[in-house]
């Protein structure tokens, strides 16, 4: 997990992510890969905040959120690296 401090994910952060997700879905396959990677990284941060906030009171939720965050980080890193390789060719 990355270093995420502070409060749990805020409602506005989740709402912003949902709106961002809708924009990317509307763009379809033409969505900018850099923006997709940025979205995945932002979503991973929110999932990490959920995991940290629930580590004591709901360990199962924390585990699921942490696993989702790790998966999103890998996808964001993969998409970002793929995009930078395309730019260099």
Residue that wins the pLDDT comparison between 84 and 46: 46
Radius of gyration of the chain, Cα coordinates, nearest whole angstrom: 14
Residue 65 · residue 48 · CB < 8 Å = yes
Whole-model pTM: value is 0.75
> To the nearest whole number, what is the mean pLDDT of the chain?
85
pLDDT digit string, tens, across residues 33-70: 999 999 999 999 999 999 999 999 999 999 999 999 99
Q: Work out the average pLDDT over 13-17.
A: 94
pLDDT computed for residue 83 by the predictor: 53
């Amino acid at each position: 997990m990355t270093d995420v401090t502070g409060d749990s994910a805020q409602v506005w952060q989740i709402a912003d992510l949902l709106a961002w997700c809708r924009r990317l879905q509307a763009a379809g396959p033409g969505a900018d890969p850099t923006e997709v990677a940025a979205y995945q990284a932002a979503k991973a941060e929110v999932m990490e905040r959920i995991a940290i906030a629930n580590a004591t009171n709901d360990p199962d939720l924390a585990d699921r959120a942490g696993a989702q965050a790790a998966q999103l980080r890998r996808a964001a890193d993969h998409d970002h690296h793929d995009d930078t390789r395309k730019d260099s060719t």
